[in-house]
Structure 1
Amino acid sequence: MATLQALSSVLVLLLLAQHERTARASTLEDTCTVVASGAGEEAAHHYYDFCVKTLGADPASATADELGLVVIVVRIAMATAKATGDRIARLQASEMSPRRRLVLDECANDYALTVRWLGRASMDLAAGGDEDRLTEAATLLEHVRGMPARCDKAFVLWAGERTPLTDADHELNGVTVLALKILRHCLNDGAK
């Protein structure tokens, strides 16, 4: 009888552990479904895929809650901004045109500021669910959103030519918007 009770207890624990893993995995999918809603059907499908792909790149997303997912996305955005800043630095090193150099200097400063903003947002988010900190993180993410486009426009206006930034450099905007959407959902759920 004791063996049967022990076996039953182990089975219950295994089922609870499996349920917890399933609940966490569905957090990622549920969150991506929520942030993709509101767009047209084709756009929602694309955005859902982008969300799952982006978050799925980090193994921690499998066990993260919604706020944890925002932290993951902000860290991805920070890595993207750093990589773009490094690319801009390489372009600066070989640039001979004074106009292009001026624009690259401006973009480099903007991306350095972007990395700092994302670092502060990451710290605010990692501190937990304090609404003031989450609101500050959202404000910082709003400042970051559109950074690649601002750099692109500077090239057109100041250098009179297309930007040397690539599609990979423009990923920053998509990732930042994803972080904002998830964070806004966290803030709205907390207000209820």
Structure 2
Amino acid sequence: MNRAFSISALFLIIFLMVLRCVRSADDIVQDTCKKIAANDPELSFDFCMKSLGSDSESRKVDVEGLGLIGLRLLQAKFSGTIEYIKQLQKRKSEPRLQKALSLCLLAYSTSERKDLTPFYKAKRYLDLNIWVSGMITSEDTCDTQFSMKGGMVPPLTKRNADVYQLSAIVLGIMAIL
């Protein structure tokens, strides 16, 4: 009977350790999002949780790994926004919209860099900070184009907001590191 108790206790301990590891993986995303959202009132904690949590690798990494995930998400959203602007330009639309889209494309294209991952892996956070800040500027410049053109429905509001949020996540994680 003593042996059965020992085996049961061993399984219980292993189960609790595995449960704690799984809980810790979820905690790292939550803790990281809490920290960076506390330092940036414009950053949505829920957006951070949803974005970083959407990658299955987020359960297996540390804060540095979360930064890499955030950077990949940002680059994908940024490149996707450039492609979306190009698609919108192909549609026949009023000249004011075309002009605003052209200015948005110019703003985004000047900040586009094919892959920032090597900078991140080399811990060149100052260089990354400059590029990511440029991405935020692109988003802001694009938003301004539509707000200046009264009466126009801005077609990039959601995408621009996502670029801003993802940029804030990456910058916030770099600040932690």
TM-score (norm. length: structure 1): 0.72
Instruction: Name the residue aligned to 2:139.
Output: 148
Instruction: Name the residue aligned to 2:119.
Output: 124
Flag structure 1 segments of 5+ consecutive residues without an equivalent.
187-192
Equivalent residue pairs, number: 175
Please say if residues 152 and 162 of structure 1, whose CA atoms lie closer than 8 Å, have aligned partners that are also in contact: no
Please say if residues 77 and 175 of structure 1, whose CA atoms lie closer than 8 Å, have aligned partners that are also in contact: yes
TM-score (norm. length: structure 2): 0.77
Instruction: Name the residue aligned to 1:178.
Output: 169
Instruction: Name the residue aligned to 2:60.
Output: 63
Report the residue type matching 1:123 in the other structure: P
- 2:168 is equivalent to residue 167 of structure 1: no
| Distance in structure 2 (CA, Å) of the matches to 1:100 and 1:160 | 11
The structure whose residues are more often helix, as a share, is 1
Instruction: Name the residue aligned to 1:93.
Output: 90
Higher relative contact order (CA 8 A, sep 6+): 2
Flag structure 2 segments of 5+ consecutive residues without an equivalent.
none
Report the residue type matching 2:25 in the other structure: R
| Distance in structure 2 (CA, Å) of the matches to 1:172 and 1:166 | 10
Q: CA deviation at 1:49?
A: 1.9
